[in-house]
Amino acid sequence: MKITSKKKTVVVREYQLEVGTVQVYQNYMVASFNEGATITLERTYQIIGISEIHFRDRDFGYISLRKNSYAIDPTVYNYLRGLDNLKAFAIVSKKEIDMHNFNIEKMFYKKPMEFFIEFDNALAWVQKRLKINIGDKKS
């Protein structure tokens, strides 16, 4: 018997990019990049484009699964900061180097961003951030 996450999630769409995979769910997306990839501004525009297709008029979260080692141009965070409907940015990794990199990335991003060791904890945080923001709009 396979044990999975208690919450049933349905992948709305999966994108195979040159640098990795992006899975889109109802209100968040999960990216997993290939070993040795470099996430440049041009490649970030692809991901922003995916977010605009699926989340143009509503809030969403982003989860980065750091299974592999890859490089990120820190200037991409200047552009990600401009996405007003991106309400939660979570990084999931068990590697210590990713924790150090996260502290640097957070300085560039300057919006809600958290680091997690377990995917389910990251997802719970993203869902909570989205509920908080939806609640704020109703007031």
d(Cα 44, Cα 134) in Å, to the nearest integer?
26
28-33 vs 20-24, strand pairing mode: antiparallel
Q: Can you give the pLDDT of all 139 residues of the chain as single tens digits?
A: 333 345 556 889 999 999 999 999 999 999 999 999 999 999 999 999 999 999 998 999 999 999 999 989 988 998 898 899 999 999 999 999 999 899 988 988 989 999 999 999 999 999 999 987 655 544 3
- The answer, as to whether pTM is greater than 0.85, is yes
Exposed, middle or buried by CB within 10 Å (0-12, 13-18, 19+), for 106?
A: middle
